[in-house]
């Protein structure tokens, strides 16, 4: 390993080397100039900000050793404190700690390495130096010594100090929190570059087999990003960063993103990225643009407008807040709204997206049991650790949070006769909590809403908090839409969809068998005694497979008695149940008047 050395390096320096592409292992060297002489403690984060789950990144450390730089041959004994903490012995003078870390997580939350690419979040590879997290540090990125990686380059928004033409070399971070907020990608990229409101933006894409449609991506992303900047700063149109980077990994199957201060890491399907000589799926591409819009919005709401509970992040334990409905729900409302405002989708498509989300929430029994505030607080143990009962016990602070934002927007517009909207509240939040980085208290919106709309709106806001945030009531959106502009009507369901809703199951294909993954409260399947993991073999004597399910249930008659045969733990069971389709939740559709 031949790291690039700076003459004036900070007191803490990390060197990351993709050491074993075939074995998926990074080597990470940590140089500490001034370790605590009483015994410096090192800690690996347990989670990554923006993804609320304890992940125990230390489990991927295979080897770790330390030595004194004054006496390089002197190996220092590392004391294990617990699974993610080590203590150096009492020593004066600089030390180095060398770790070998396995990295084969293809998500946006951890680290990955193979012969094609490398991706890393510092939370997965870089030990924090306890007590010295607030001092400047450096990151040295070293290219792999592999023939098949000779064309690799680096993409990151970390501040470069001394790098080569491919981006390998010496980077600087203000502190440890800054270091972990800049993901790094290595490999070969297809690049898209544009400017939004004068600010340089780029998208670095890996995984697409064919050339991407650069012009279309640049035009669409420029419009979305410009619209978002203008939302928060309508006069100055000034972004809170000098450069922004979208890091995209396109795969066969996958979808998600993780926000960072000046960048985002995205995972999407290849068919969601427009490519030359590839059949184009407009809806799939809209989903990708929605993902880009969502994570970009987080550069304001989450990365700069933060919950007080996250200042600072405590990466060794859960950080609870009841405000994820604001941070994720409001972002989910604006991600699609910004597509419409930037003319990437038309009004009909936008209203269809709202209706789909609305109907999906109404089909989730968990909405009757868990409030948005509790969903936010329990994200660590419920939303991010979903199981077979999750639909029956959990409400999504993304989906219902977006409906809450829509409802609040409609109510503000109705109350002010169109003079103000949720945009004005977002700009006020930005001025008070984003530009200042003064975190929002758990009840922090109360004062801002009162300032913006006066005491006359207090009754409406109190109802929102009581019924829709801390309560489990459904939002009566059909009453709040302006009937002169938007028509709200009950959705007429086809027989197949009605019967599916009545059965109340979610399933997967298991070698042709239909295996249940979820059984919803109040459905025919639950009444029949079916449970997650069961294999349905027949309904009314008709053989059931995953491919024949729609055909079998379409042949059934409303309100008829059904005999359902299924296997549980290889034992056959038979149940009779009435196919009652009258208890299915009401569904809505939206259209322009």
Residue 583 pLDDT: 65
Contact 517, 532 (CB under 8 A): yes
Contact 578, 562 (CB under 8 A): yes
281-333 pLDDT tens trace: 999 999 999 999 999 999 999 999 999 999 999 999 999 999 999 999 999 99
Q: What is the fold, at CATH topology level, of the domain defined by 495-578?
A: Pdz3 Domain (2.30.42)
Q: Where are the beta strands (DSSP E) in 190-278?
A: 190-196, 199-206, 243-251, 256-259, 263-269
Predicted structure pTM score: 0.95
List all residues 6 or more positions away from 492 whose beta carbon is below 8 Å from its beta carbon. none
Torsion of CA 457, 461, 466, 468, to 10 degrees: 130
Between 18-27, 131-140, 519-528, the lowest mean confidence (pLDDT) is in 519-528
Cα 460 from Cα 234, distance rounded (Å): 27
Report which of 525, 509, 565 is spatially closest to residue 541, judged by C-alpha positions. 565
Give me the CATH code for the 190-299 domain, please: 1.10.390.10
Give me the CATH code for the 12-187 domain, please: 2.60.40.3650
Q: Above 50 in pLDDT, residue 182?
A: yes
Asked if the domains 190-299 and 341-480 are classified in one and the same CATH topology, the answer is: yes
Residue 277 pLDDT: 86
The structural architecture, per CATH, of the domain 341-480 is Orthogonal Bundle (1.10)
Mean pLDDT of 22-43: 97
Query: Which residue ranges make up each domain of the chain?
Result: 12-187, 190-299, 341-480, 495-578
Contact 128, 136 (CB under 8 A): no
Angle, helices 422-429 vs 399-415, to 10°: value is 110
- Rg (C-alpha) for the chain, rounded Å, is 27
Report which of 459, 425, 465 is spatially closest to residue 443, judged by C-alpha positions. 465
Q: Above 60 in pLDDT, residue 1?
A: no
Mean pLDDT of 472-479: 97
189-247 pLDDT tens trace: 999 999 999 999 999 999 999 999 999 999 999 999 999 999 999 999 999 999 999 99
Place of tokens 């010496």: 170
Mean pLDDT of 84-110: 97
Q: What element of type H or E holds 375?
A: helix 372-377
């Amino acid at each position: 390993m031949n790291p690039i050395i700076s003459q004036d390096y900070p007191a803490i320096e990390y060197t990351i080397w993709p050491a074993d592409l075939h074995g998926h292992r990074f080597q990470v060297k940590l140089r500490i100039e001034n370790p605590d002489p009483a015994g410096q403690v090192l800690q690996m984060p347990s989670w990554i900000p923006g993804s609320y789950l304890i992940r125990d990144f230390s489990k991927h450390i295979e080897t770790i050793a330390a030595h004194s730089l004054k006496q390089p041959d002197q190996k220092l004994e590392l004391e294990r404190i617990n699974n993610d903490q080590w203590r150096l012995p009492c020593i004066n003078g600089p030390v180095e700690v060398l770790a070998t870390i396995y990295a084969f997580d293809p998500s946006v939350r951890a680290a990955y390495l193979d012969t094609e690419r490398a991706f890393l979040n510092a939370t997965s590879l870089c030990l924090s130096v306890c007590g010295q997290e607030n001092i400047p540090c450096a990151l040295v990125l070293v290219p792999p010594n592999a023939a098949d990686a000779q064309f690799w380059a680096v993409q990151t928004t970390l501040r470069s100090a001394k790098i080569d033409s491919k981006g390998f070399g010496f980077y600087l971070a203000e502190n440890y929190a800054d270091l972990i907020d800049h993901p790094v990608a290595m490999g070969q990229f297809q690049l898209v570059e544009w400017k939004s409101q004068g600010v340089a933006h780029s998208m670095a894409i890996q995984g697409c087999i064919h050339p991407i449609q650069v012009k279309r991506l640049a035009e669409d992303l420029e419009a979305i990003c410009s619209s978002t900047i203008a939302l928060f700063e309508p006069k100055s149109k000034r972004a809170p960063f000098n450069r922004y980077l979208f890091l995209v990994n396109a795969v066969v199957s996958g979808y998600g993103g993780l926000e960072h201060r000046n960048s985002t890491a995205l995972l999407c399907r290849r068919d969601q990225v427009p490519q030359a000589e590839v059949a184009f799926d407009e809806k799939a591409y809209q989903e990708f643009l929605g993902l880009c819009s969502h994570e970009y919005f987080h550069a304001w709401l989450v990365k700069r407008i933060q919950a007080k509970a996250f200042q600072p992040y405590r990466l060794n334990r859960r950080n609870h807040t009841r405000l994820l409905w604001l941070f994720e729900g409001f972002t989910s409302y604006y991600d699609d709204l910004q597509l419409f405002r930037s003319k990437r989708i038309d009004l009909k498509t936008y209203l269809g997206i709202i209706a789909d989300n609305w109907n999906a929430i109404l089909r989730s029994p968990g909405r009757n049991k868990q409030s948005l505030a509790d969903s936010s607080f329990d994200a660590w143990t419920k939303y991010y650790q979903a199981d077979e009962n999750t639909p029956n016990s959990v409400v999504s602070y993304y989906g219902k949070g977006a409906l809450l934002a829509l409802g609040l927007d409609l109510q503000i517009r109705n109350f002010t006769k169109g003079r103000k909207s949720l945009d004005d509240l977002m700009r006020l939040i930005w001025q008070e909590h984003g530009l200042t980085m003064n975190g929002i208290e758990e009840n922090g919106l109360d004062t801002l809403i009162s300032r913006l709309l006066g005491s006359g709106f207090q009754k409406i806001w109190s109802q929102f908090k009581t019924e829709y945030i801390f309560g489990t009531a459904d939002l009566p959106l059909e009453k709040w839409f302006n009937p002169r502009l938007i028509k709200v009507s009950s959705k007429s369901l086809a027989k197949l969809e009605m019967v599916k809703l009545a059965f109340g199951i979610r399933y997967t294909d298991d070698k042709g068998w239909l295996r249940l993954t979820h059984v919803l409260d109040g459905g025919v399947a639950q009444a029949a005694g079916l449970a997650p993991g069961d294999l349905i073999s027949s309904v009314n004597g008709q053989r059931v497979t995953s491919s024949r399910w729609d055909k079998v249930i379409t042949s059934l008659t409303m309100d008829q008695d059904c005999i359902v045969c299924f296997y549980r733990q290889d034992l056959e069971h038979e149940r009779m149940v009435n196919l009652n389709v009258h208890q299915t939740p009401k569904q809505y559709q939206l259209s322009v008047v």
